[in-house]
Amino acid sequence: MDLGLNGKVALVTGAATGLGLTYAEALAKEGVKVALTDLDGPGAEKAARELSQYSTVIGFGLNVASQEDITEGVARTVSELGGVDILVNNAGLARGRWQALSDLAFDEWETLLRVNVASLARLANEVRPHMIARGGGVIVNQSSNSAYFKLSNSYAVSKLAVSGLTIGLAEEFEPDHIRVNGIAPGMMTGRVPQEIIDMVVSRQVMKRRGRHEDLVGALLYLCSDLSSFVTGQTILVDGGAALRI
Ligand SMILES: NC(=O)c1ccc[n+]([C@@H]2O[C@H](COP(=O)([O-])OP(=O)(O)OC[C@H]3O[C@@H](n4cnc5c(N)ncnc54)[C@H](O)[C@@H]3O)[C@@H](O)[C@H]2O)c1
């Protein structure tokens, strides 16, 4: 099925590995030109070389916590790939999951919220004029199904803020024909102890562990015109786990 994505340009953050790499690969396979970025610059360059078999893919370092990096990274994407149609705000810190909310110090809150929430808005702001120049665009923010469970840790709170940001930016960017949506994965990956995996799977409706590829359908739906009347939404892709709360 032709999704109409061939020739579009996407910037994906935190994409040297993990879910960001899965997203970058899925877009490249649709013929999207991808700026594959990560805090780990050499890792991004290596991943980009591997994905070049599918499309034009450039890889470079971009720390989403740095305004300078954001400005330079978006400018580089536009000058090397011709514009920006799609922003995938994937990079995020998983820290704070096992720490009580009241234990977190100011500097830890600041780092977490800077990377997991504020950077998404800064990147959106930076790509906005370039999307306007193309007549519109699409932004996909990475949330987590943690946001829909007990909010007793800072990671979950930050991811609920991502879903809130998605609604707010959808309203703010609508006049520019930029749709803003989110994906909230369940536990897909990670070096997680088996007892945690068993606990997570047991509370899902579907009794298997999530795979990276499970997220590709949601990503391509949100990036393409299949979702042309959808904005401000965060799609849960978690085997039905969040239904059980
Ligand atoms: N893996 C899961 O099961 C899962 C579930 C729900 C949500 N998420 C979310 O998905 C996103 C990716 O998670 P993952 O598990 O693939 O992570 P990961 O740790 O495997 O990869 C994260 C990537 O982001 C990069 N990164 C870290 N800080 C960065 C920064 N400041 N600027 C740019 N890049 C940075 C890292 O270098 C790394 O390559 C995160 O937002 C995470 O919260 C993951």
Q: Which residues line ligand 1 at a C-beta cut-off of 6 Å?
A: 13-14, 16-20, 38-40, 62-65, 90-92, 94, 115, 142, 144, 185, 187-190
Q: pLDDT band at 151, cuts 50/70/90?
A: confident
Count, in order, helices (H) and strands (E) of the chain: 8, 7
- Please name the helix (run of DSSP H) or strand (run of DSSP E) that holds residue 35, with its range, or none: strand 33-38
Would the pLDDT of 7 be above 70? yes
Any idea which residue has 């024909």 for tokens?
177
**Ligand 1 centre distance from Cα of residue 38 (Å):** 10
pLDDT on residue 95: 78
Give the nearest ligand 1 atom to 65 CA: 31
Q: Over the stretch 17-64, which tens digit does the pLDDT of each residue have?
A: 999 999 999 999 999 999 999 999 999 999 999 999 999 999 999 999
Q: How far apart are CA 15 and CA 18, in angstroms?
A: 7
Pairwise CA distance, residues 21 & 37, whole Å? 9
Please check the confidence at residue 241 and state whether its pLDDT lies above 90: yes
pLDDT recorded at residue 244:
65
| Side-chain-side CA neighbours of residue 238 (13 Å) | 26
Model confidence over 79-93: pLDDT tens digits?
Answer: 999 999 999 999 999
The mean-pLDDT minimum among 40-44, 73-77, 193-197, 222-226 falls in: 193-197
The pLDDT-based confidence of 209 (bands split at 50, 70, 90) is very high
pLDDT at 98: 77
SS3 151: coil
CA-CA-CA-CA torsion sign (15, 18, 23, 29): positive
Enumerate domains of the chain plus CATH numbers.
9-244 (3.40.50.720)
- Cα separation of 181 and 139, whole Å? 6
Confirm whether 54 is a catalytic residue: no
Does residue 8 surpass a pLDDT of 80?
Answer: yes
161 Cβ neighbours under 8 A, 6+ residues apart: 113, 116, 117
Q: How many Å lie between the centroid of ligand 1 and the Cα of residue 41?
A: 15
List own/partner pairs for 112-117 with CB under 8 A and 24 or more apart: 112/154, 112/155, 112/158, 113/158, 113/161, 114/65, 115/64, 115/65, 115/91, 116/92, 116/155, 116/158, 116/159, 116/161, 116/162, 117/158, 117/161, 117/162, 117/165
Distance CA 62, CA 39 (A): 5
pLDDT above 60 (res 65):
yes
